[in-house]
Amino acid sequence: MIRPSAPLGATFCMASDRDPHDALEPAEYESVRVPFPMIRKLQRSLDPDYAGPIYIWDIDKTWLDTRFSQLKGMLKIPFEFAVDKRALPGTTALLHALREGSSGRDHCPLYFITASPPFIRMAIERKMLIDGIEFDGISYKDQVEVFRRRHFDSLREHTAFKLGALLLLTKTFPTSAQIHLFGDDAERDAQIYCLFADIAAGRLRGETLLHTLIGMGVRASYAQGVVDLAAQLEGEGERVAGIYIHLIRARDGATIRNYDPRVVGYPSARAVAELLFERGQLSARGRDKIEGEGRVIFGAAAADPQGWWTPADQR
C-alpha cells in the first residue's frame, strides 16, 4: 500500500493496491439533526497522512440535468426520472477521470452533497450505479424533517445544509488533503463554497460568521449550529484548493466576476477538464474522453492580501 504525503499542489491519490480500510466499505445511512437535518452515508476512511485531492460535487445542474431541489422537480421524478438521459454532457466522463487521477489508476476520494431529498436517493444512486460512478459518501438534505419542523423558509434555502455537510465531512478528512468543490451558478454555490473555504482556514468563525449567515437568510438556530460546528475544526490553514462553478445562468462568467481567480467558471465538462489536466489532476486518456466546448473563465477580482476567498461585501 502506498501512503503518500505531499506538499500543497501534489495531486496523486490512493494507489489501486490500497489497504482494505481505504476501500469502499458497506455503510448504513446516518440521520443527522445538527447543524441541519440531513441523511448521509460515508463509505471510506482515508489514511491520516493522505495529502492528495478530495473532490466534492453538487448534483443538481452540476452532474445531472435536473431540478431535484425544487418542489416541481421532485414531484416529477417518480414519473419521468430517466436514469439514462439525465447526465449533463461530459460530466460522467469527468467524474471517472477525476476518480482515476493523473496516473489513470488512482482512486481519488469523491463525495456528493445534494439538496435532493432522501426519498429519491434510490433513483440517484441507481443512476450512479448505471454510470459506473464510485462514490465515497453522499449527503442529502432532509426536506421531510425540515417540513415536519414547519421551517418552510429553509426548504429552498440551502446555505446551512451545504455548509453543515461540508464541515461534517471536513472533520473526517486528513488535514493535509486538498479539497476541490464543484457546483453551479443556478444558486449561490460560489458564495457558499468561498464561505466554507474561509471557515475551514480559520478566517471566518464566531459572531462574524453568525451575522453573515443570518444576513444571507439562514434561520438563526441553523446559523448557530454551523458556527458551533466550525469551532470544532482542528487546526488552521488552507483546506480548499479549488472551486469550480458550472456556468448555467451566465455563460459569460458574470456570476463569478466578483471572486478572485481561484474561483473558476466552466461552460462545459471538457473546458474544466483541460484546466485540470494542465494542473496535473487528470490523465490525457481521461481528458480525451470528455466532451464539450468552450474555455474556463476565472474570477476577475484582485486576490485578497489576507487570503480571503469570500468578497468583503459577502461576509
Who has greater pLDDT, 227 or 83?
227
Confidence of residue 122 (pLDDT cuts 50, 70, 90): confident
Q: Where are the beta strands (DSSP E) in the chain?
A: 30-32, 38-42, 53-57, 110-114, 137-141, 178-184, 240-246, 263-266, 297-298
d(CA 270, CA 268): 5
pLDDT value at position 50? 97
Confidence of residue 72 (pLDDT cuts 50, 70, 90): low
| Domain membership flag for residue 188 | yes
DSSP string, 88-129: PTTHHHHHHHHHHTTTSS----EEEEE-S-GGGHHHHHHHHH
Confidence of residue 183 (pLDDT cuts 50, 70, 90): very high
The β-bridge partners of 209 are none
Who has greater pLDDT, 62 or 81?
62
Grid cell for residue 122: 434510490
| Domain membership flag for residue 266 | no
Beta pairing, strands 297-298 & 263-266: antiparallel
Q: 6: exposed, middle or buried (C-beta count within 10 Å: 0-12, 13-18, 19+)?
A: middle
pLDDT value at position 208? 98
| Domain membership flag for residue 251 | no
d(CA 39, CA 169): 13
| Domain membership flag for residue 289 | no
Assess whether pLDDT exceeds 60 at residue 12: no
- The parent domain of residue 213 ranges over 20-246
Assess whether pLDDT exceeds 80 at residue 80: no
pLDDT value at position 76? 53
For the residues 67-91, what does the mean pLDDT come to? Answer: 59
| Domain membership flag for residue 239 | yes
Confidence of residue 189 (pLDDT cuts 50, 70, 90): very high
Who has greater pLDDT, 34 or 121?
34
pLDDT value at position 201? 98
Q: Spell out the residues 6+ positions from residue 254 whose beta carbon is closer than 8 angstroms to its own.
A: none
| Domain membership flag for residue 184 | yes
pLDDT value at position 20? 32
pLDDT value at position 65? 84
d(CA 61, CA 63): 6
| Domain membership flag for residue 126 | yes
pLDDT value at position 5? 33
Q: CA 147: distance to chain centroid? A: 24
CA distances from 124 to 25, 82, 206 (A): 19, 11, 36
How many domains is the chain built from? 1
pTM surpassing 0.95? no
Confidence of residue 70 (pLDDT cuts 50, 70, 90): low
pLDDT value at position 120? 83
R_g of the chain, CA atoms, integer Å = 18
pLDDT value at position 251? 94
Assess whether pLDDT exceeds 90 at residue 27: no
From 124, 155, 144, 7, select the one nearest 62 (Cα to Cα): 124
| Domain membership flag for residue 279 | no
The 10s digit of each residue's pLDDT in 192-243 is 999 999 999 999 999 999 999 999 999 999 999 999 999 999 877 999 999 9
The 10s digit of each residue's pLDDT in 237-289 is 999 999 999 999 999 999 999 999 999 999 999 999 999 999 999 999 999 99
Beta pairing, strands 38-42 & 30-32: antiparallel
